[in-house]
Amino acid sequence: MKRLQNFLQQLGADEAGARMYALMERLYPICRSITGPGVRQTLDILQEFLPLQRNEVPTGTQVFDWTVPNEWTIRSAWIKDPAGACIVDFKRCNLHVVSYSTPVHGQMSLAELKKHLHSDPEHPDWIPYRTSYYQESWGFCLTHRQLLSLQEGEYEVCIDADLLPGSLSYAECVIQGNSPTEVLLFAHTCHPSLCNDNLSGVVLLASLGQYLRRCHLNWTYRLVFAPATIGSITWLSRNQEGLDRIKAGLIVSVAGDPGSITYKRSRHGSALIDRAAAHIVRQGEKPGTILPFSPWGYDERQFCSPGINLPIGRITRSPNGAYAEYHTSADNLDLVQAGHLQDSLHRIMQILHVLESDRRYQNLAPFGEPQLGRRGLYRMMGGYTNIGALQHALLWVLNYSDGLHSLLDISEMSGLDFPTLQHAAELAEKSGLLSPQPLSLEHCAIPERNLPLHQHTS
Give the residue with the Cβ less far from its own copies, 21 or 400.
400
Q: How many CB atoms lie within 10 A of CB 259?
A: 18
β-pairing, 140-141 vs 117-118, is: parallel
Tell which residue, 387, 394, 395, 422, has the closest CA to residue 407.
Answer: 422
d(CA 209, CA 382): 48
231 sits near its own copies (criterion: CB under 8 A): no
Stretch that binds its own copies, among 17-25, 39-47, 86-94, 446-454 (CB under 8 A): 446-454
Q: Tell which positions 95-114 bind its own copies, by CB under 8 A.
A: 98
Query: H or E segment at 360?
Result: strand 360-363
Stretch that binds its own copies, among 5-13, 276-284, 303-311, 352-360 (CB under 8 A): 303-311
d(CA 142, CA 197): 19
Biggest CA pair distance of the chain = 93
Stretch that binds its own copies, among 7-15, 41-49, 339-347, 363-371 (CB under 8 A): 363-371
291 sits near its own copies (criterion: CB under 8 A): yes
Give the residue with the Cβ less far from its own copies, 333 or 451.
451
Label residue 301 exposed, middle or buried (CB < 10 Å: 0-12, 13-18, 19+): middle
Label residue 55 exposed, middle or buried (CB < 10 Å: 0-12, 13-18, 19+): middle
Q: Tell which positions 259-288 bind its own copies, by CB under 8 A.
A: 267, 269
- The contact mask relative to its own copies for 185-224 (x = CB under 8 A, - = no) is ----------------------------------------
Q: Tell which positions 322-351 bind its own copies, by CB under 8 A.
A: 322, 326-327
Stretch that binds its own copies, among 2-10, 150-158, 216-224, 360-368 (CB under 8 A): 360-368
- At residue 92's C-alpha, the angle toward residues 91 and 95, to 5°, is 85
121 sits near its own copies (criterion: CB under 8 A): no
Give the residue with the Cβ less far from its own copies, 278 or 349.
278
In DSSP terms, 379 is beta-bridged to none
Q: Tell which positions 376-415 bind its own copies, by CB under 8 A.
A: 380-387, 392, 395-396, 398-402, 413-414
d(CA 200, CA 203): 5
Q: Quote the least distance from Cβ 187 to its own copies, whole Å.
A: 18
